[in-house]
Copies of this chain bind each other. A is one copy, B any other.
Amino acid sequence: MPRMQLTKTMIIETALSLAEQQGYEAVTMANIARSLSIKPPSLYNHFKNLEEIKHAMAEAAQIQLYEALRDTEQGAQPLLSLAKAYVHFGSSHPGLYASSLPGGSWEVSEALVQLIADGLTSFPLDETDKIHAIRGFRSMLHGFIDLNKHAGFKLDVDLEKSLEQMVGIYVRGLQS
């Protein structure tokens, strides 16, 4: 295997730091190649096309998201800690979070879901209801991040408070 200085991992790491520093829209073949001091066509020796690169990015970004959540303090309100960590990750690393959306691997998705499931253990839910509850929780958090990105919340009311209230309402709804 000749000239294998350049690896898939290097390409994905370069693409992710591009997303992190200049936004997800900056993830182009031209920009990735420029960052690596190669020409765009060379990338096709390692990935079929840009879509494949973005899929690989999603997997790596999802792992970073997972690790950020896993390292969260599990205090008295595990769902609130999780929510804050999730929204904080999405808001402070928008490019990375956007990178994670296209999908990723089944295992990491599952691990992420398990993290939420762990926060739900204190509520008596059968398997199906647990899945519904997890979907609702993720929807809430993702929607909060994404609406914010689209400047959805215009009023001058504390965002962090909104997040706390939202999670508070949801948790009380699970209890009753």
Contact = CB atoms under 8 A, between A and B. Distances in A.
Nearest to A152: B138
B169 A101 contact: no
B165 A176 contact: no
A103 B170 contact: no
Interface in A136-159: 136, 138-144, 146-147, 150-155, 157
A165 B136 contact: yes
A17 to B, nearest CB: 22
A173 B131 CA distance: 18
| Interface of chain A, main secondary structure | helix
A123 to B, nearest CB: 10
Contacts of A153: 135
A7 B163 CA distance: 43
B138 A142 contact: no
A37 interface: no
Given A169-B173, A173-B173, A157 B139 contact: no
A25 interface: no
Contacts of A162: 131-132, 135-136
Contacts of A30: none
Contact of A146 (B129, B133, B136, B143): B143
Given A142-B143, A170-B173, A172-B172, 7 more contacts: A131-B155, A132-B161, A138-B152, A139-B141, A139-B166, A169-B173, A169-B174
